[in-house]
């Protein structure tokens, strides 16, 4: 994203300074510490490498994806190679950063659809835990809209592709301040998130929130915030087997520089023989006469045998730019041989061949380390 109020020559030093600060904090005391101070806790795949004496955890994930979709040659690429660094700052504060090398390696695909590898600051923030019902966050974080966007790492999701309702209408990242926590009432937990974004002046990293990046296409649509504010609540019931959430968001995009209002609903239900979840959004605003953007999906996950799941998803989405309505059907297998390791295979088709989410085969191998 190019911010006209802060040219690249000024933004690059800002990002470099923030990253340098992360590394300095994460390694503070290294010269004074002895060997025992850097001993690690027992390691398990997917849990990260933890240094108890330093309050430091290193982890991340990587995934290899294969796309064979309509109107494009087959493509194999490393979609994400992400590093997580978590550092305790005393007993109440914690620093977290996620650095992502996206599309570092790509084989196949057309020249027009070939992406260049880039190093991106996915997340960079400091949390302060006042108490269970009030936590404060400052920095760059995932936008609290729906459930999918807050659990976006490939090893933690059911399918290779991402439903359109979870990425097409809003920025996946926000930069600013957020308050969040959990309130218990009448035996049920209620989670909340309230945030304000000022990406115009608090930009961290050169990332571009591509609206359809996870659909196997590379349309130029971008969703980077300029300013935003909003919140989300999530209600837990039946021993956390059922959740119901609502998101409300008002924002102005950087390009096109238009204002929008969005309302989202989501749910999750976990049963003995299968699970259901879904999300839906309604967005209005933009240029005069521009139609509202609406859509959603319902997904079922069925365990077949141990660690092998069948996943089916039906989604319908109406975009405002380009203006079209698509219906997509996705059938997938998700195999988790050990915690932290996931193989996925899926087939997607729809009511027509579409540039938003072309039909075809998708596969991935992902590891959470």
pLDDT in tens, 312-349: 999 999 988 778 889 999 999 999 999 999 999 999 99
- Joined tokens for residue 134: 């009030």
Count CA within 13 A, CB hemisphere, residue 343: 5
pLDDT at 18: 46
Distance, CA of 194 to CA of 232 (rounded, Å): 7
Rounded alpha-carbon distances, angstroms, from residue 168 to 64, 218, 256, 283, 364 = 23, 12, 14, 10, 22
Is 211 within 8 Å of 219 (Cβ atoms)? yes
Q: What angle do CA 345, 351, 356 make, to 5 degrees?
A: 65
Is 331 within 8 Å of 346 (Cβ atoms)? yes
Residue 37 has pLDDT above 90, yes or no: no
Residues 6+ apart with CB under 8 A from 296: 165, 265, 278, 279, 280, 281, 315, 316, 317
Distance, CA of 54 to CA of 59 (rounded, Å): 15
Is 166 within 8 Å of 147 (Cβ atoms)? no
| pLDDT band with cut points at 50, 70 and 90 for residue 8 | very low
Distance, CA of 73 to CA of 358 (rounded, Å): 12
Q: What is the DSSP letter of 210?
A: B
Average pLDDT, integer, range 252-258: 89
Least confident interval from 195-209, 211-225, 341-355: 211-225
Distance, CA of 243 to CA of 278 (rounded, Å): 11
pLDDT at 268: 97
pLDDT at 71: 81
Say whether 215 sits in a helix, a strand or coil.
Answer: helix
Distance, CA of 235 to CA of 217 (rounded, Å): 35
| pLDDT band with cut points at 50, 70 and 90 for residue 151 | confident
pLDDT at 115: 56
pLDDT at 357: 85
- Joined tokens for residue 238: 């039946």
Is 348 within 8 Å of 330 (Cβ atoms)? yes
- Joined tokens for residue 265: 């609903």
Say whether 53 sits in a helix, a strand or coil.
Answer: helix
pLDDT at 120: 85
pLDDT in tens, 102-141: 766 667 655 444 455 577 889 999 999 999 899 999 999 9
Say whether 11 sits in a helix, a strand or coil.
Answer: helix
Alpha helix ranges (H) inside the chain = 8-26
Other C-beta atoms lying within 10 Å of the C-beta of residue 365: 16
pLDDT at 25: 46
């Amino acid at each position: 994203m190019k911010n006209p109020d802060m040219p690249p020559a000024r933004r690059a030093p800002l990002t470099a300074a923030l990253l340098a600060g992360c590394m300095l904090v994460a390694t503070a005391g290294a010269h004074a510490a002895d060997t025992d101070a850097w001993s690690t806790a027992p390691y398990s795949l997917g849990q990260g490498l933890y240094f108890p004496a330093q309050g430091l955890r290193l982890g991340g994930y990587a995934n290899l994806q294969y796309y064979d979709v309509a109107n494009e040659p087959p493509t194999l690429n490393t979609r994400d190679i992400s590093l997580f660094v978590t550092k305790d700052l005393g007993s109440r504060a914690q620093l977290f950063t996620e650095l992502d090398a996206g599309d570092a390696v790509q084989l196949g695909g057309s020249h027009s659809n070939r992406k260049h590898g880039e190093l991106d600051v996915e997340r960079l923030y400091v949390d302060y835990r006042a108490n269970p019902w009030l936590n404060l966050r400052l920095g760059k974080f995932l936008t609290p809209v729906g459930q999918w966007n807050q659990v976006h790492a490939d090893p933690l999701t059911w399918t290779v592709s991402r439903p359109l309702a979870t990425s097409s209408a809003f920025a996946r990242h926000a930069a600013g301040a957020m308050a969040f926590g959990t309130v218990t009432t009448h035996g049920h937990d209620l989670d909340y998130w309230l945030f304000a974004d000022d990406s115009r002046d608090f930009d961290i990293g050169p990332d571009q929130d591509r609206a359809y990046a996870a659909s196997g296409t590379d349309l130029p649509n971008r969703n980077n915030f300029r300013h935003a504010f909003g919140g989300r609540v999530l209600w837990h019931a039946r021993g956390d087997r059922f959740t119901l959430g609502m998101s409300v968001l008002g924002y102005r995009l950087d390009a096109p520089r238009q204002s929008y209002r969005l309302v989202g609903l989501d749910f999750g239900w976990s049963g003995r023989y299968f699970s259901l979840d879904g999300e839906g959004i309604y967005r209005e605003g933009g240029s005069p006469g521009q139609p509202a953007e609406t859509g959603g999906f319902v997904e079922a996950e069925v365990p077949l045998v141990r660690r092998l799941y069948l996943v089916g998803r039906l989604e319908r989405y109406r975009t405002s730019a380009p203006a079209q309505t698509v219906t997509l059907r996705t059938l997938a297998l998700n195999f988790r041989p050990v915690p932290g390791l996931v193989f996925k295979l899926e087939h997607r088709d729809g009511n027509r061949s579409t540039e938003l989410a072309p039909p075809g085969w998708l596969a991935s191998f992902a590891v959470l380390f």
